[in-house]
Amino acid sequence: MKHFKAITRFFLFVMSAVLVLAGCSSKESSTSTSKGSDTKGQPYQINMAYLTFTKMDDLPLVQDEINKIVKKKINATVKLVPINAANYQQQTNLMLTGNEKIDLVVSSSFFGYSTQAAKGQLLALDDLVKTHGKGILDVVPKRLLEGNKVNGKMYGIPSIRDWGSYYGFIMRKDIVDKYKIDLSQVKTFADLENVFKVVKENEPTLTPVVNTGGSTVASVIAGGKYDILGDSLGVVSFKDKKIVNMFNEPEYVDAVKLARKWFKAGFILKDSATSQDAAANIVKANKGFGYFSHMKPGFDVQEKGITGYDMVSVKLTDVYSYTDASTGFNLSIARNSQNPEKAMELINLLYTDKDIMNLLDNGIEGKHYQVNSDGTIKLPDNVKESKYVFGQWQIGNNFLTNPWEGNPANYWDVMKKHNDSAIFSPAFGFTFNPDPVKTEMAASTNVINQYKLGIESGTLDPEKSLPEFNKKLKAAGLDKIMAEKEKQFEAWKKKQ
């Protein structure tokens, strides 16, 4: 999957459960009559596609509980359609271009959101949100809704989650404790080398760094320096506030050289550039020590829920917010939805109804979690591993959910402070229209797929591969793409 492999800040955004009790259940219900069913007729089935990274054996049970509420409130039912992350773009593109029944889809700048919108594969939501999604307008900041518009129209509702990220390394706490590793001495990415040496010398069955997929070692080391604008083909420099070729920038070159040094030393997973296994799952299998990631408050607790190990992390950058804070994960209505009004009513519930959100994100109380006296949640006493783990960051109002144990009871207050501390991208709210350079974009994307993961994982020698990479990008039309991007970016800035 081509664009999937080009993602730089994505897959360790993944997989599970963040977490707090906030807000009140919506008492709003629909009285609309719309194509497919009305409030007195048979309930309309809303098919919703989203990313999944783990097995969810109890999905049918959770779906049934959600539908008890949805049917009563908007006379509809939901069919949850989980799609493996590795196949997500390919499968959703088939759904959106074909005649398959699909109503809601998690859309993303990582998966061609603006292109899908421009091609008419997603419906414009501006009118629908006013008539059937008023609760959304009350809780989603206007800045985010404005930030994901394409050609002046809204095609997705951003999830309410962490909008800022800092970068660092997360690792197994038992190994850190066993060898008395002093993480207070880790001030920079380069300082981690001493930690990796200890692990490699003493734990030969553990690979120190198990990054895979789009979240490469170098992309994290370079985190906070560029806004990749969804495709990396001409990025905005935080420092210079202009469009640059990231692959020629000194900070990027330093990052890939460090990744190469660590790869040659045996610190990085040998098949990092090709593995389809999520890094957290490799740690869970007792084959890895840790991984680089962008992070947020509660990240250690979140990853413990996936890996099964107590995790500890080091924060190595400030908090940054990119264009993908608003375009990174949206819920969009597919062009082939038979009932867009009902689809929007469901989206509205996902931003206003705490019972639905806790079911979707955390599962069934008593089976998948139990509530502590302070409002945090944990696995039930007789359960060692949940059979329902949902990547909640991708959908709805996460601030309505209970936080997992290990996080403070006021977790979402902490998250708000985290979001408020973010350094915003100079391009926040800018959406690039690739149509004028779509031929060059296609050719350059092929080059990206050939080189980027290999270079950023340390698999390829940047002394040889980076010049080849840049030469082929130039031949594919990168300069033309950057010129068009700069033109659109400057026009956008004048309107701000």
d(CA 314, CA 190): 12
Q: Where are the beta strands (DSSP E) in 21-162?
A: 44-52, 76-84, 104-107, 157-158
Residues 252/246, Cβ–Cβ less than 8 Å: yes
Q: Are 269 and 210 in contact (CB under 8 A)?
A: yes
Q: What share of the chain is helix, strand, coil (3-state, %, to 5)?
A: 45, 15, 40
Tokens standing for residue 73 = 């409130």
Whose tokens are 């060059």? That residue is 440
Token pair of 114 as six digits: 């603006």
Residue with tokens 């370079």, as numbered in its chain: 222
Q: With CA atoms as reference, report the closest residue to 296 among 324, 323, 315.
A: 315
In 10 A of CB 267, how many CB atoms?
A: 22
- Strand arrangement of the beta sheet that strand 226-227 belongs to: 226-227, 235-237, 243-244
Which residues face 227 on adjacent strands?
236
Helices (H), 277-392: 279-284, 299-307, 324-327, 340-350, 354-362
Mean pLDDT by 10 residues, the chain (496 residues): 38 35 32 44 94 87 97 97 89 91 92 88 97 95 86 92 92 98 97 98 97 88 90 93 96 97 97 91 96 93 91 96 85 96 98 96 94 95 88 90 92 92 89 89 95 96 98 98 96 85
The region, left, alpha or beta by phi > 0 then psi within -120 to 50, assigned to residue 406 is left
- Do the strands 44-52 and 104-107 form a parallel or antiparallel pair, or are they unpaired? parallel
Report pLDDT for 56.
Answer: 85
pLDDT of residue 31: 33
The DSSP 8-state label assigned to residue 400 in this structure reads G
Q: What are the strands, taking DSSP E only, across 97-175? A: 104-107, 157-158, 166-172
For position 40, what pLDDT does the model report?
Answer: 58
Q: Yes or no: say if 151 and 124 are a contact pair by the CB < 8 Å rule.
A: no
Residue 33 token pair: 């009559």
DSSP string of 213-239, one letter each residue: TTS-HHHHHTTTSEE-TTT-SSEEETT
- Residue 171: how many CA atoms within 13 Å on its side-chain side? 23
89-96, long-range: CB within 8 Å, 24+ apart, which pairs? 89/1, 89/2, 89/3, 89/4, 90/1, 91/49, 92/49, 95/49, 95/334, 95/336, 96/121, 96/122, 96/334, 96/335, 96/336
Beta strands 166-172 and 311-315, pairing class: antiparallel
pLDDT of residue 1: 38
Amino acid at 259: A
- pLDDT value at residue 13: 39
